[in-house]
Amino acid sequence: MGWIEIALTGTALLTLLLVLAVFRLRMVSQSRAAELAQIQAQLTVLEQKSRSLAAELHELRTGSIGMGERIKLLEGRHKQLDGALRETREQQQELAEMDPDTKLYNRAVKLLQQGASVEELMDECELPRAEAELLFSIHGKQR
């Protein structure tokens, strides 16, 4: 075998190695392209989910702002109603204190708490015996 045959054999081997390397590169390239396509598909899905979550977050923020405003309005209304209720109770108390019968019974209860008897209630508050006994049975035993 001469140097020409050796050169041809070497060239053939190099050509075969080059063809195999190109084929291998093409397979790796196709594999990488498939992986890249898969990653891009996943990225697209994640971007869609991200946009969807951003939209939901925006809705929640908008809703919570609206709820906060609504709560403030309700708190203000509650304070108004609480004030009106307090005022009504004060007026009711004033009216009760102005009623002579209420004053009489309040005085009778105070006397009972101090240990007064049925006869003392009848004398001091000018109550009939039945009312004095009723008050005594209700408030007289709480001493």
* Reported pTM: 0.40
Please state the rounded mean pLDDT for residues 108-119.
Answer: 88
Q: What is the mean pLDDT of the chain?
A: 87
Give percent of the chain with pLDDT exceeding 90: 29
Residue 136 pLDDT greater than 60, yes or no: yes
Structure tokens at 9: 């054999």
pLDDT for 44 equals: 94
pLDDT for 43 equals: 93
pLDDT for 85 equals: 92
pLDDT for 143 equals: 47
Please state the rounded mean pLDDT for residues 5-11.
Answer: 87
Give the whole-angstrom CA distance, residue 23 versus residue 30.
11
Structure tokens at 136: 């005594």
The packing angle between helices 129-139 and 100-113, to 10°, is: 50
pLDDT for 54 equals: 94
Question: Which has the minimum average pLDDT: 50-59, 75-84, 100-109, 126-135?
Answer: 100-109
pLDDT for 124 equals: 86
Please state the rounded mean pLDDT for residues 111-119.
Answer: 89
pLDDT for 5 equals: 87
pLDDT for 75 equals: 94
Long-range contacts from 122-125, C-beta under 8 angstroms, 24+ separation: none
Q: Output DSSP code: residue 98.
A: H
Spell out a b/e string for 9-48, using b for 16 or more CB atoms within 10 Å of the CB, else e.
eeeeeeeeeeeeeeeeeeeeeeeeeeeeeeeeeeeeeeee
